[in-house]
Amino acid sequence: NAGVTQTPKFRVLKTGQSMTLLCAQDMNHEYMYWYRQDPGMGLRLIHYSVGEGTTAKGEVPDGYNVSRLKKQNFLLGLESAAPSQTSVYFCASSYSIPGQGYEQYFGPGTRLTVT
């Protein structure tokens, strides 16, 4: 049981390039999320998904797109990277435990630098 995995772990892009970050979970969780983590800003939600084929915008969606074609995968795309997108990106998944809420399970993160 690998939990939540992310690829790649590191990436350097030039301004204007595109890339896709892949998140996979093997826990059969319905909910999946993409966050970015920046110093002093905590975690900010980019996009999320409540199930296969559905996605929704979070707090900071501009410049990103997502897709959830399979329940276990959640892809984050940057169509035209900008230096402001330099960050550490975390994927998470969750499910509901009756009476206990939604615990989030995080991936190891992807460190992205845009030059």
Partner 1 sequence: AQRVTQPEKLLSVFKGAPVELKCNYSYSGSPELFWYVQYSRQRLQLLLRHISRESIKGFTADLNKGETSFHLKKPFAQEEDSAMYYCAPVGRGSYIPTFGRGTSLIVHP
Contacting positions for partner 1 (CB under 8 A): 4, 31, 33, 35, 40-45, 48, 50, 58, 90, 92, 94, 96, 99-104, 106-109
CA–CA dist 68, 95 (Å, integer): 16
Question: Smaller CB distance to partner 1: residue 48 or 74?
Answer: 48
Which value, in Å, is the radius of gyration of the alpha carbons in the chain?
14
Question: Smaller CB distance to partner 1: residue 14 or 42?
Answer: 42
Question: Smaller CB distance to partner 1: residue 79 or 95?
Answer: 95
Min dist. Cβ of residue 31 to partner 1 (A): 5
Min dist. Cβ of residue 65 to partner 1 (A): 19
Question: Smaller CB distance to partner 1: residue 76 or 81?
Answer: 76
Three-state DSSP at 84 gives helix
CA–CA dist 83, 21 (Å, integer): 17
Q: Could you tell me where the beta strands, DSSP code E, fall in the chain?
A: 4-7, 10-13, 19-25, 31-38, 42-51, 54-57, 65-67, 73-78, 87-97, 101-106, 110-114
How far, rounded to the nearest angstrom, does the alpha carbon of residue 40 sit from its chain's CA centroid? 19
Min dist. Cβ of residue 68 to partner 1 (A): 14
Min dist. Cβ of residue 100 to partner 1 (A): 5
